Structure 1
């Protein structure tokens, strides 16, 4: 047994030596991850303290799970958690369906010049900051915006609608805005997956008389399956990362019951009010739950024989 371990260790050292150039290239990224991802974990201790910035670490009062209990007993936080989950699920479903659909449609275009134009136009909104994107969305959905003008012109409504003033509509509006902004960018990885599919499969399907739709269903979609599964697992791991900018910029007093998610809650009731311990507790809760979802999704995928992240 010790000899087997020695051989394994020697093989590991030999592999490291052979790949030393790659290992050296990873050093800056490992340092970056350690500084910005692992060192901040030390700050989680604030979630268990009655944290006061003026005190040293040894002077802080430890309060156990007080802040977590406050969150779980707060109707406000439960509503925020509901909003976060709803926004994430809607964004994830719309994001997957539209990105896969757009990638398939772009792939089916035969005019290369038109294909490049469509792809470029589709991912340009991704480079807009949410400040600009939210301003555009607010303008389009305003009382005198183009949507109201179209609805009034077609006599579909008898008065202008205040879209961002109805809380129940916010999740759908946010999902549509997120999809418009990111669908082109998200489609790029699916286009890359499609490009890896053996073209001989399409030729054989054509010879067998398969229609374009049949080729998409039986060749293109299955060819993207591994990429779809990996991205789905990663997105499930970020299920509580519904975002901040869009909700903060599009949210208002009339839709706050549906727009406020965990990140907005942390800013408004944690950092803005100098309640850093409560903000840390909310952030820690989000991280732990996201990790649990990631592990569960990965395990379920492997049990179903679809592979996983690790």
Structure 2
């Protein structure tokens, strides 16, 4: 995991205007891509920002024989499946590989003849490509339940809820609903201290599966951001936090062991009820990309934001 606080020397000249007008400033501390929904993440130093989120994030998904998505909620061992993204030859696309305890590494080789399918993620039916029998057999053996691997069909779109994005149209792949999840290092440290004070184990921020982890901001300051700007060498990217991330039982699962406890959820219940979502427990903010799709994000890049309190 990269935790460098160094700010890259090369930042676009337009950055000064955003930084000077900001209410808060910090930098990117961590970047995480989760290629397969609900499987382990990949810490990256550099990644392309797409309109749908970080490149290849949640582009693959495990489904049951009926095409309904599977997650750690019902299959915690998915936390132990570690994806890798491989560059092969001169291709601009990436090849997915999977590793897991006591399993041979699988390099996913989709069938020569593409097999389109329709799959279900939450309330959405989405076009996808089946990734073949070898991947299905590998996943079925490890998870102990019949399942298959699918890849998002990039020719289609999966719109985000306009209830939360308003006039800004946005789309995503197989994420729970929005292109990006933002969180602050300070919020992770605060939670870890609260859990340990209550007699629980040390817990990592990784349990919350954030894509962009911010340093230099106060704990949960992302809750109040109207916009977040990121200074890159080629321009300024702008993210708009749109919806508090309501928390399911997945943060109670240790990503290193797939063992479940209730330390995290019980602790969060004591201080993270959120009136914006009917009193549900929240941690982190779902965000959309309003400017800068195609820019390259790098750990250490400066961020600046404007606050908007209700």
Q: What TM-score does the superposition give when structure 1 sets the normalisation length?
A: 0.25
Which structure shows the higher strand fraction? 2
Which structure shows the higher helix fraction? 1
Give the structure with higher Rg (CA). 1
Q: What TM-score does the superposition give when structure 2 sets the normalisation length?
A: 0.25
